Amino acid sequence: MRRVVFRRIAAMFLLCWVTANCSRPEENAGSGEKTGEDDRLPPEQQTLRLMTPEPLSLDSSIRPYDTRGTILPFEPLLRRNERSEPIPAAAERYESSPDGKTWTFYLRPNAKWSDGRPVTAEDVVYSYRRFLDPASANIYAFFYYDIANARDINHVKIKDITQLGVRSIDELTVEIKTEHPAPYLPYIVSFGDAFLAPQWVVEKYGPKWTEGGNLVTNSPYTIREWMHGRHMIFEPNPLYNGPYKPILQQVRYTFRNPASATMLPYENDEVDLDGVDLNDLDRVKADPKLSADLVGYRNMNTWYMYFRTQRPPFDDIRVREAFARAIDRETLCRVVLNGTAKPAYGMLPPGFKDYDGEGLKPGQAFDSQLAAKRMEEAGYPDGRGFPPQELWLRAPGATVQRVAAAIQGMLKEHIGVDITIRILDDTAYMNNLFAWKMNLGLLDFGADYPDPRNMLDMTWRSQPLGSGRQDWTHSEFDRLVDQARVTLDASARSQMYKQAEKILSESYGGVFLYHPMGQRLIKPWVKGYEKEADGTALINLDMPWNLYITKH
């Protein structure tokens, strides 16, 4: 997914398939670095300072691209820890039927909304119906199509929304029925955007229900202040009775324009944590103070180029192959991305047990002569006669713009194609994406959970206009991912997904470019997070309940 820090967890994922109950948070505690507890500042000084673009809304359950990376002040049935493992949240435990089609979730007793109302099973039922209600226009509704009748309700084939396979058994017990065996359902319900919403608040305030003065939450944090154009402040929710009581007494986001973001606020000690753009990476590494604060983080993510394949010129597979072969990914990663990325030849990133970068490489590897040959075969020798194209970018930072410029140069050099770059904000981009209005676009996808279902099936399976990211379709790919989705045999399922990804790569549904490694600056007084043996930081800023500030 889009905001969570991930790491390799294939073994844990398989374990979650067969377990009946969530593991407790303490069972997932790692052995990484967690120092400074004896040196903590007093509660009144426990403030974490961050910077972010201002959110358009905090209702990411319906508008998932509008939250801009702030805290998600709501609690799903389950949540993810820093290793992306499902752990208890609004539900303290769950059970699955032997056939993997009926799931029972037991809510935490005495949980309350921040206005004092109890959190009940009916809140869960309402929230899931809202995810799928066509009137909500949720562009991520497909994420829940495993639930019984979800697809047909969302496509208005079933008009009675009470037919959705989510019902309350009693005040604290929820049952979810799926269309087929779904051993990965804990990953669906622990999706950060699958949170509970207070029906009475949503109905009273409509789209403005997450504004600071309106917000009612069931999570560890609530909004203290939202001053549009300036900042947003979160503070602990005093009525929260769950296991993730925050140490930080204030998380303050100062709003900034991403296009003009610099490291100066970090260098001036105005913020405690900030991302590092590649334009600044060499300077950071050369600075003794900044380099000491630099940490990497994994984000199980793939950047790719996609086409509108049902219209010329990209309905011709030879043209799509030419674009794929014209991109020198090794140079892109080594030079343009300063060694902070790995070349991609398929959709699944490192960290997935089914990752097969080398196996897929022959289908998309850089080959300028073959690229030129394919263009000539398609009737565009040296690019002559090829219609001008726009490469659409989504609210890009400097790094993505550098990548786009490099792609622009490679396409011109190797196949004689001229492209211009078009930039849109997040919302406009995603609206155009799902409306299939882009001939050529650059985009990334971060795993919502570490299973091929998420990055192959949910992203590339054929979908109708308005429901899928792109218009690429392949009947054998669809058959394989449909079969894999309902297969309980792990080995057979893995082979199906590998075959499907090979089809996707060799049919050039997309041009797969690179898997990034994020870079972040963290002040030495920010503690409570873990580090892997290689120094990789494990921090989930969606809900920083375990972070704290020490003396400095």
pLDDT digits (tens, 9 = 90+) for 506-529: 999 999 999 998 889 999 999 998
- The answer to whether 345 and 508 have CB atoms below 8 angstroms apart is no
The whole-angstrom separation of Cα 338 and Cα 342 is 11
pLDDT of residue 55: 93
Peptide bond into 313 cis (omega under 30): yes
Single-letter residue type at 469: R
Q: Which helix (H) or strand (E) holds 305?
A: strand 301-307
Sign of CA dihedral 24, 26, 31, 35: positive
DSSP assignment of 510-525 equals: EEEEEEEEEEEEE-TT
pLDDT of residue 183: 85
SS3 state of residue 50: strand
- The answer to whether 329 and 513 have CB atoms below 8 angstroms apart is yes
The CATH number corresponding to 221-298+519-549 among 3.40.710.10, 3.40.190.10, 3.40.50.150, 1.10.10.10 equals 3.40.190.10
> Do the domains at 10-36+59-203 and 301-516 have one common CATH topology?
no
Dihedral of the alpha carbons of 117, 120, 123, 125, in degrees to the nearest 10:
-170
The whole-angstrom separation of Cα 91 and Cα 76 is 8
Q: How far apart are the first and last CA of the chain?
A: 34
Indicate the domain borders of the chain: 10-36+59-203, 221-298+519-549, 301-516
Q: Which helix (H) or strand (E) holds 359?
A: helix 357-364
pLDDT of residue 467: 81
Tens of pLDDT, residues 471-485: 999 999 999 999 998
- Give alpha helix (H) positions in 206-325: 264-267, 278-286, 288-293, 317-325
pLDDT of residue 15: 31
CATH class of 301-516: alpha beta
Single-letter residue type at 243: P
CATH superfamily of the 10-36+59-203 domain: Dipeptide-binding Protein; Domain 1 (3.90.76.10)
pLDDT of residue 37: 61
> DSSP character for 456?
I
pLDDT of residue 242: 94
pLDDT of residue 521: 95
Q: Give the side-chain half-sphere CA count within 13 A for 355.
A: 19
For the chain, which residues score pLDDT lower than 50? 1-35
Quote the pTM value.
Answer: 0.77
- The answer to whether 416 and 382 have CB atoms below 8 angstroms apart is yes
Instruction: Enumerate helices (H) and strands (E) in the chain, giving the number of each.
Output: 18, 22
The 3 state secondary structure assigned to 400-441 is HHHHHHHHHHHHHHHHCCCEEEEEECHHHHHHHHHCCCCCEE
| Chain-centroid distance, C-alpha 156 | 27
- In this structure, the number of other CB atoms found within 10 A of the CB of residue 162 comes to 11
27 CB-near residues (< 8 Å, 6+ apart): none
- The answer to whether 164 and 132 have CB atoms below 8 angstroms apart is yes
pLDDT of residue 471: 95
Pull the structure tokens for residue 408. Answer: 């622009």
